[in-house]
């Protein structure tokens, strides 16, 4: 089905053509006609599915067809969990609106930066506001904007909004909106809290279930490599060099680890940089630009900071530390294999985290075969599973044992 059959106006089709998209993605095909008709949407769609255009394009068209007001009143409010995602959606809106007859004013607001410039930009109103909930409420309290005429509300990455503890802020924002409005909810996963939110928010929504779970997504190859905690950096270097990876997003658990791991990689001759929420906005923008231009080959990030990074071609994601939850795993590996490209998602499995990974597999209904890489095999014996003749806790495997295991593994594979 071509874009022209979705009911979009020619200025929007022109903007799409300049992006050289050959056809709408499934979420776009399903959502755009419904949104144009004013219906609510409940879409299960991951980053990479083309979901941004699925709501931005019809919102732009509705705005073009609507009544103009001076000062501008917020027509559409897009709530997002992070500033990166806000900035990326803002960028998409700017692009898709580039051929509209009248300029549309879009403002992106998020915390972690000074509020004053955002207040200045909101003078004279705005047509579309893309916001993280906390900063949006601050701005409302400062009388910098009013939400009483919002006709379309989008919750993007609703699962992350709740994961990041925005439930209270969300409730306060919803109370400021007019009762009559269109609601569009996009989420990669639908745990109970998101389902409840969807039930309370949406009015007879069109249910769109585009996302194939990543485990069934053929273009993401998942690998689980067993090793020991202290060998992970060397293993990472080995993989980067032996596989010729030049653009790798590495996930670690803490801000400290982003610095620590990227330092160690740099010492090993790999161009790596940390990426976390406490870097200044300009440092983050610079790191992303360097990564996109391949001046940096490895970005070492926390979940929070990496959320919403939209890099068109991200071939490899590495879980150096495992994510906390099964849904975070889905989000992380969804950074790769986007828009039809293939991707690799590697998880490092250690004696300390293997039970946690098994739980992630169970929750996501998937199984990732364990593998080892010669020279980086785990030396620590899994203390939970004792060999029949009374293994000694923490005993290191002998070379013979390892060879026997490798032979058994190879035999099983044949
Ligand atoms: P999103 O899921 O909105 O984060 O989009 C993921 C990526 O897919 C972005 O880089 C978009 O530019 C790209 N994209 C969006 N729509 C299409 C399409 N119809 N065909 C190909 N790529 C697309």
In this predicted model, what pLDDT tens digit does every residue of 370-401 receive, in sequence order?
Answer: 999 989 998 865 444 444 433 334 445 555 55
| pLDDT band for position 365 (cuts 50, 70, 90) | confident
Residue that terminates a domain, selected from 188, 209, 230: 209
- CA 387 to CA 385: how far, in whole Å? 7
Q: Return the ligand 1 atom nearest residue 47 CA.
A: 2
Is residue 154 located within the same domain as residue 281?
no
Closest approach atom of ligand 1 to CA 24: 19
Q: Domain range spanning residue 350?
A: 218-371
Residues 25 and 159 in one domain: yes
Cα atoms in the 13 Å half-sphere on the side-chain side of 83: 18
189 with 236, same domain? Answer: no
CATH number reported for the structural domain that contains residue 286 in this entry: 3.40.50.300
Q: Is residue 271 part of a domain?
A: yes
Mean pLDDT throughout 327-352?
Answer: 82
CA of 92 to the centre of ligand 1 (A): 10
217 CA → ligand 1 middle, Å: 17
- pLDDT for residue 408 is more than 60: no
Taking the centre of ligand 1 as the mean of its atom positions, its distance from the CA of residue 85, in whole angstroms, is 14
304 and 186 in one domain? no
Give burial (CB, 10 Å; 0-12/13-18/19+) of 250: buried
Residue 184 sits in the same domain as residue 253 = no
Residue of 5, 25, 58 to mutate, ligand 1, most atoms within 8 A of C-beta: 25
Residues 178 and 196 in one domain: yes
Q: Which of 222-226, 312-316, 342-346 has the lowest mean pLDDT?
A: 312-316
Is it the case that residue 143 has pLDDT exceeding 60?
yes
pLDDT for res 15: 95
Q: Report if residue 40 sits inside a domain.
A: yes
Residues 117 and 137 in one domain: yes
**226 shares a domain with 337:** yes
Count of residues making up the chain? 414
Give φ, ψ of 291 to 5 degrees. -65, -45
Q: Which atom of ligand 1 is nearest to the CA of 28?
A: 19
Q: How many domains does the chain have?
A: 2
Q: Does 394 reside within a domain?
A: no
- Quick check: is 405 in a domain? no
Both structure tokens of 80: 């997002």
In testing the pocket of ligand 1, which one of 31, 45, 52, 210 has its CB within 8 Å of the most ligand atoms? 52
Q: Return the residue matching tokens 């924002």.
A: 173
Residue nearest to atom 6 of ligand 1 (CA): 48
**Nearest alpha carbon, ligand 1 atom 5:** 50
Ligand 1 atom closest to 19 (CA):
12
Task: Clarify whether residues 203 and 227 are in a common domain.
Answer: no
In a domain, 20, yes or no: yes
What is the sign, positive or negative, of the torsion defined by CA atoms of 123, 148, 143, 154? Answer: negative
How far is ligand 1, taken at its centre, from the CA of residue 223, in Å? 25
Q: Is residue 409 part of a domain?
A: no
Same-domain check for residues 236 and 195: no
> 57 — alpha (psi -120 to 50), left (phi > 0) or beta?
alpha
Supply the pLDDT for residue 404. 58
Task: Verify that 136 and 15 share a domain, yes or no.
Answer: yes
Identify the pLDDT of residue 232. 95
Spacing, Cα 49 to ligand 1 middle (Å): 6
DSSP secondary-structure letter at 215?
G
Q: Give me the pLDDT at residue 136, please.
A: 97
For residue 407, being part of any structural domain is answered with no
Nearest CA to ligand 1 atom 17: 50
The protein residue whose alpha carbon is closest to atom 23 in ligand 1 is 50
Domain termination residue (choose one: 191, 209, 227): 209
Among 185, 209, 233, the domain-final residue is 209
Give the CA angle between residues 174, 157, 274 to the nearest 5°.
125
What is the token pair recorded at 159? 């699962």
- Range name among 12-16, 29-33, 326-330 with the lowest pLDDT average: 326-330
* Ligand 1 pocket, residues with Cβ under 6 angstroms: 21, 24-25, 28, 47-53, 310, 312, 338-339
- Helical ranges in 76-228 per DSSP H: 83-96, 116-121, 133-141, 158-163, 167-176, 192-201
Q: Going by CA atoms, what residue is nearest to atom 8 of ligand 1?
A: 50
Of 50, 80, 335, the residue with max ligand 1 atoms within 8 A of its CB, to mutate for a pocket test, comes to 50
Q: Is residue 284 part of a domain?
A: yes
Mean pLDDT of 46-63: 92
> What is the model's pLDDT at position 342?
73
If asked whether residues 190 and 222 sit together in one domain, one would say no
């Amino acid at each position: 089905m071509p874009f022209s059959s979705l009911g979009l106006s020619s200025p929007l089709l022109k903007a799409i053509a300049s992006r050289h998209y050959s056809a709408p993605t499934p979420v776009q095909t399903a959502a755009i006609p419904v949104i144009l008709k004013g219906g609510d949407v409940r879409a299960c769609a991951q980053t990479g599915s083309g979901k941004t255009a699925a709501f931005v394009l019809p919102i732009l068209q509705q705005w073009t067809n609507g009544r103009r007001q001076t000062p501008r009143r917020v027509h559409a409010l897009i709530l997002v969990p992070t500033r990166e995602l806000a900035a990326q959606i803002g960028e998409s809106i700017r692009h898709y609106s580039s051929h509209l007859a009248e300029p549309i004013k879009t403002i992106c607001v998020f915390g972690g930066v000074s509020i004053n410039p955002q207040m200045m930009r909101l003078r004279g109103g705005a047509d579309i506001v893309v916001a993280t909930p906390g900063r949006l409420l601050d701005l409302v309290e400062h009388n910098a904007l009013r939400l009483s005429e919002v006709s379309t509300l989008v919750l993007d990455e609703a699962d992350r909004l709740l994961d990041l503890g925005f439930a209270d802020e969300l409730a306060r924002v919803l109370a400021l909106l007019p009762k009559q409005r269109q609601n569009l909810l996009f989420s990669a996963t639908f745990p109970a809290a998101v389902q409840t939110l969807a039930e309370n928010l949406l009015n007879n929504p069109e249910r769109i279930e585009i996302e194939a779970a990543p485990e069934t997504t053929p273009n993401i190859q998942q690998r689980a490599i067993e090793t020991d905690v202290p060998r992970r950096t060397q293993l990472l270097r080995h993989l980067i060099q032996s596989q010729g990876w030049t653009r790798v997003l590495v996930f670690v658990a803490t801000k400290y680890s982003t610095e620590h791991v990227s330092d160690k990689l740099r010492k090993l001759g790999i161009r790596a940089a940390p990426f976390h929420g406490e870097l200044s906005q300009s440092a983050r923008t610079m790191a992303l630009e360097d990564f996109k231009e391949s001046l940096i080959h490895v970005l070492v990030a926390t979940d929070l900071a990496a959320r919403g990074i939209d890099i068109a071609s991200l071939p490899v994601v590495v879980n150096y530390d495992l994510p906390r939850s099964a849904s975070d795993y889905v989000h992380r590996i969804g950074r790769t294999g986007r828009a039809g490209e293939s991707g690799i998602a590697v998880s490092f499995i250690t004696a300390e985290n293997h039970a946690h990974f098994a739980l992630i597999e169970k929750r996501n209904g998937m199984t990732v075969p364990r593998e080892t890489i010669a020279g980086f095999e785990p030396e620590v014996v899994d203390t939970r599973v004792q060999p029949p003749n009374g293994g000694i806790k923490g005993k290191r495997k002998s070379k013979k044992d390892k060879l026997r295991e490798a032979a058994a593994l190879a035999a099983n594979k044949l």
